[in-house]
A and B are shown apart, each in its own frame.
Chain A
């Protein structure tokens, strides 16, 4: 058994357990930490497939920026209490969801089992060779700024739109009554820690 197979097996276990942890954790913070495990596993899988730059970007962008952003919003909103997973809001929702999931996996696995390594068809090395004698970073950058230069420019516009949209969404509208400020710094939870004026008066 080669090293690649061993690395794949270990990472596959980490990725799948992390994915299950995201879905099955009651606490959203635990879900976020499971997501970190999954993203790290995917980064190692990228390394295993000789995509060195993508592995680094995966760790920096996903676990460094996106998960931190999600955790930041979680702490900002204070949604760190457990979700109720026991009650099923729609009758039969979970069964149908699992059936859809099993159907998706079954369809792909059927193609892969029937087709084997011939399941992937297409012309070899259309854009550029993976191991054309250049580094991974060199080849990626060259394609990004030659063949894919127009999508790259469009991406800049997309990021600008996303930033503007986030600012617009997060702005407090004028017509909506703002949430009253807490009376003291110790009084920010759902349950008031200190007595209100009415209670203190009695």
Chain B
């Protein structure tokens, strides 16, 4: 199976999506929006993995996306737990208020 130009376009799209998520993570201060930006970056990596798997005719790309999905779910659960713990101390908290969680 020969790689086509469309496969390269998938990689380019994933790179742009990753950068959008990264810029959002750096710019936004609402912790929930920051979690969503991390999801964007993880999805961009997923697209890259599947595209690589297609270009190399290998199933491993799709298997690894499976594990990325699981890690993303765990990350969201823990991240939202942090947001809840932080907002309990100060409603409407932003990223700076994470220091409130210092034990």
Which chain A residues have a beta carbon within 8 Å of chain B's beta carbons?
Answer: 4-5, 8, 12, 15-16, 19-20, 22-23, 28, 31-32, 35, 38-39, 42, 45-46, 49-51, 53-54, 57-58, 61-62, 65-66, 69-70, 73-74, 76-79, 81, 83, 89, 93-94, 96-98, 100-102, 104-105, 108-109, 112, 116-117, 119-120, 122-131, 136, 139-140, 143-144, 147-148, 151, 155, 158-159, 161-163, 165-166, 168-170, 172, 176, 179, 190
Query: Of A22, A62, A168, which one neighbours B24 at CB under 8 angstroms?
Result: A22
Question: In the complex where A117-B7, A162-B78 touch, is A125 in contact with B15 (Cβ < 8 A)?
Answer: no
Total A-B Cβ pairs within 8 A: 251
With a CB–CB cut-off of 8 A, which chain B residues contact A96?
Answer: 26
Is A125 a contact of B57 with CB atoms below 8 Å? yes
Best-surrounded residue of A4, A45, A94 (most CB of chain B within 10 A): A45
Decide if B85 is an interface residue (CB 8 Å cutoff). yes
Question: In the complex where A8-B10, A50-B54 touch, is A89 in contact with B23 (Cβ < 8 A)?
Answer: no
Query: Of A42, A122, A176, which one neighbours B46 at CB under 8 angstroms?
Result: A42
Is B60 a contact of A169 with CB atoms below 8 Å? no
Which chain B residues have a beta carbon within 8 Å of chain A's beta carbons?
Answer: 1-13, 15-24, 26-30, 32-33, 35-37, 39-40, 43, 46-47, 50-60, 62-63, 65-67, 69-78, 80-85, 87-89, 91-92
Q: Is the interface of A mostly helix, strand, loop or mixed?
A: helix
Task: Write the chain B residue with the least CB distance to A77.
Answer: B87
Distance in Å: Cβ of B23 to nearest Cβ of chain A: 4
Is B59 a contact of A49 with CB atoms below 8 Å? no
Is A163 a contact of B54 with CB atoms below 8 Å? no
Query: Of B2, B8, B15, B60, which one neighbours A143 at CB under 8 angstroms?
Result: B60
Is B3 a contact of A117 with CB atoms below 8 Å? yes
Is B35 a contact of A166 with CB atoms below 8 Å? no
Query: Of A120, A140, A147, which one neighbours B66 at CB under 8 angstroms?
Result: A140
With a CB–CB cut-off of 8 A, which chain B residues contact A79?
Answer: 30, 32, 87, 91-92
Is A16 a contact of B17 with CB atoms below 8 Å? yes
Question: In the complex where A117-B7, A144-B66 touch, is A22 in contact with B37 (Cβ < 8 A)?
Answer: yes
With a CB–CB cut-off of 8 A, which chain B residues contact A46?
Answer: 47, 50
Is A169 a contact of B84 with CB atoms below 8 Å? yes
Query: Of A12, A69, A93, A130, which one neighbours B1 at CB under 8 angstroms?
Result: A130
Question: In the complex where A8-B9, A54-B66, A120-B3 touch, is A77 in contact with B74 (Cβ < 8 A)?
Answer: no
Is A101 a contact of B47 with CB atoms below 8 Å? no
Is B43 a contact of A166 with CB atoms below 8 Å? no
